[in-house]
Amino acid sequence: MDTKAILIAAGLTGVAAVTGVTSAVMQSQNPQPLSTGAPTTIVSPISKPTDKPDGVPTSSQGSSQAPVSEPVKPNSEPLPVKPQEPEAASRKVETCKVTMAKVADANPPLNVRSNPTIAPDNIVGTLKNGTFVTVTNELDGWFGIATPIKGWIAQSQTDSGCNEKTERVSFGAGGNSVTIAERFVGTGIHRYRFNLGKGQTLSVRSDRGTLPMILAPNGKELRGLDDRQTSWSGELAMTGDYTLELDSNYKGYKYSFSVQVNRS
């Protein structure tokens, strides 16, 4: 073979080699063809709805990460402290006795009966509204009366209250004053007792009616017997029960007075 033929054969061999390398490289870079089966759908995972701190559910289309609430700024100013109110004074009735009543029948006149029962043959008299009666007994809703007619009347058809009464009054924790408003129906005596200490200052003022008598634990009257006096104040000389007393000598009246004690 001549030299020219050898050169041509060598050139063709080189070209073939280069062409084979190029083809191999191109095949390695080209993507493999997709499968002819059903297409594959890629689904990203979605978190279940959760409750926000304020109770509103998050949307399933949004981020699954819980929202971050803004930090609460501390209050730089302290909250005002509400002052504790003193407890109300307490009153306990120790004795109560009805000795008089006033007739107040919804359908007058009021029947007076010989015994505390309703029967057509036990009526012994009648009373007009506004009539005062003397009460001597109480039994199952009936008043036994002595005047103006002796017999029994229905308690519910009268206006009545404690004619003779004693009350124990105590100041509540942190308290030092009380106002007492009451009334008499007919004659009677009302007594209000306070346990007070030596050195305390007692002040009493009448708002309606007369000023009560003020009795020391030894029974001594402190304010005198001036009916025109409407207030009294003084330092207490002993410890014990002080009694504020009012009385009624006729058909009764309404009264109101205030008591204050300055503790030592």
Examine residue 49 and state whether it is found in any structural domain, yes or no.
Answer: no
Q: Give, for all 264 residues of the chain, the pLDDT tens digit.
A: 454 444 444 444 444 444 443 444 344 444 454 444 444 444 444 444 433 344 444 444 444 555 555 665 556 566 666 666 667 889 999 999 999 999 999 999 999 999 999 999 999 999 999 999 999 999 999 999 999 999 999 999 999 999 999 999 999 888 899 999 999 999 999 999 999 999 999 999 999 999 999 999 999 999 887 888 999 999 999 999 999 999 999 899 999 999 999 976
Query: How many structural domains compose the chain?
Result: 2
pLDDT (0 to 100) of residue 247: 96
Task: Provide the edge-to-edge strand list for the sheet that holds 213-215.
Answer: 90-97, 164-170, 188-196, 240-248, 213-215
Q: What is the DSSP letter of 25?
A: H
With contact defined as beta carbons under 8 Å apart, do 238 and 216 qualify?
yes
Q: Tokens 């971050």, residue? A: 68
170 and 255 share one domain: yes
Contacts of 219 (CB under 8 A, 6+ apart): none
The pair of structure tokens assigned to 25 is 């490289």
205 and 256 share one domain: yes
Residues 202 and 232: their CA atoms lie apart, in Å, by 8
Q: Tokens 């083809």, residue? A: 23
155 and 170 share one domain: no
Residue of 221, 230, 259 lying closest to 91 (CA atoms): 259
Examine residue 7 and state whether it is found in any structural domain, yes or no.
Answer: no
167 and 242 share one domain: yes
138 and 219 share one domain: no
With contact defined as beta carbons under 8 Å apart, do 93 and 163 qualify?
no
Contacts of 26 (CB under 8 A, 6+ apart): none
Please state whether beta strands 164-170 and 90-97 pair in parallel, antiparallel, or not at all (unpaired).
antiparallel
Q: What is the DSSP letter of 43?
A: -
Examine residue 14 and state whether it is found in any structural domain, yes or no.
Answer: no
Examine residue 132 and state whether it is found in any structural domain, yes or no.
Answer: yes
Q: Which domain holds residue 155?
A: 97-160
